[in-house]
Amino acid sequence: MRKIMIVGLGAVLIGAAGGSAPPSVSRLPPAEAAGTLDELAAMLRPHEAPDEESYFQAYDVFSLCTGALSDEAEPRGVAAYAARLRTDPPIHVRFMRLADAKAARELAHAAGGEAGACEGPAAEEYGAVMEGDVGVAPYTRGGWEGVQVVSETIAKRPTAWIYKPRTEGHVVAHKGPWVAHVQWEVSGAFGWPMRHWTTGGLDQVEWALSHAGADEPPTWLSRVLPDPGLYGTRMEVRPRVDQDTDLACANLASRTFIVGSTQSVDRSMLGDAAVHESVHVAADEVQAERIRHGRMHDESARIHPGWVREPCRHWDDQNLEGAVGILPAVEAFEHGRWTGEIERFAGRVRSMPDEPTYRDSYAHVAVSVRSGTTVVYLQWQVAAGTDLEGALRRGEPVLRKALDHMSTIVPS
């Protein structure tokens, strides 16, 4: 086994020997770097790939390699722009606009510290036999500083006859108040990873990063989320999405729900209620409606309309004999400038204990609405006790208050 060199970060699958996609960009950087997410989105939109429905790869600066789990979590409530770009090789990019340069530097340095666990022999991935190495190195180009993680491997899945080469790279870097995560992947049908799969990926990373970095006042998206106290007392922002931040134990609050070609901000909180908020700014109203509809009708995260289940059962667990409750229902919803849908359902165990907890009952209310190209998804959940209908009635007024706040921030 020969030694394999590694350098960077990313993942965008392109199959075929020496696979690559037609480039859409010049290697020339822009005349000026963007200082806001609005400017950045406008500059990169001509190069976006129209595949926002597929899985987005640059979703977490602490998830840079297979087999290395981190206890660190990205901050919530940070405005970001995410897109897939038609470069050669294609890249996934996510630019976050933090409060200041200090916060950006600390986040990028934390990601770099965690990336050290990636270095060494490649970890097995989805049952595939892997041979090769993962390399970790500093990234310093164009005023951006951070870390690059690149794996160059050959892999064979249990049903395959031959090993296939693959290069996958990630870069996490900071400049001013910006933190960027860029990812690419190139794979082939046979042979060994080619050197230009790494160098070409890093060239496209540098080109993408050259579009941002200026320090200008943040846009409205950075202040669109209301004060946590609007939702109740003792509300705390949770960096991770665990079962205790999702009373019905659906996966709607997952950070990996990232839509390409949008600006967005999201946050999860726990206190008197479990709340998840996400706001997306789409390229046009067609995309906005697709996002709005998808948040309310994502089958992978829904409770089946004919089921009432006990709290914290997995969505496909059909052992529901002990559950009583209110079946899921989705209805049209309007509030001021916002139009869309509202969802309600609730459930509890048949015999409530003397001192019930959120694991014994829940009430869930969510709205998925839009105004022009701005999409808002709000999810509110509480421990309902025995009065399920009463608990559901408490949710809608809270979400309407949140939409009232956003109406004062979102441009008309």
Mean pLDDT computed over every residue of the chain: 84
Over the stretch 223-238, which tens digit does the pLDDT of each residue have?
A: 999 999 999 989 998 8
Q: What is the pLDDT of residue 3?
A: 35
Which of 128-142, 200-214, 228-242 shows the lowest mean pLDDT across its residues?
A: 228-242
Mean pLDDT of 127-134: 83
State pTM to two decimals: 0.86
Q: Is the pLDDT of residue 151 over 60?
A: yes
Domains of the chain listed by start with CATH number: 37-209 (3.40.1000), 224-409 (no CATH)
Residue 90, preceding peptide bond in cis (omega within 30° of 0): no
Query: Which is higher by pLDDT, 27 or 144?
Result: 144
Give the model's confidence band at 349: pLDDT under 50 very low, under 70 low, under 90 confident, else very high: confident
Q: What is the pLDDT of residue 264?
A: 93
Q: What is the pLDDT of residue 155?
A: 84
Mean pLDDT of 154-183: 90
Question: 22 burial class (0-12, 13-18, 19+ CB within 10 angstroms)?
Answer: exposed
User: CA 52 → CA 85, 159, 170, 378, 410, distances in Å?
Assistant: 11, 30, 19, 21, 23
CB 88 within 8 A of CB 200: yes
Q: What is the largest CA-CA distance in the chain?
A: 68
Report phi then psi at 244, rounded to 5: -75, 0
Q: Is the pLDDT of residue 320 over 80?
A: no
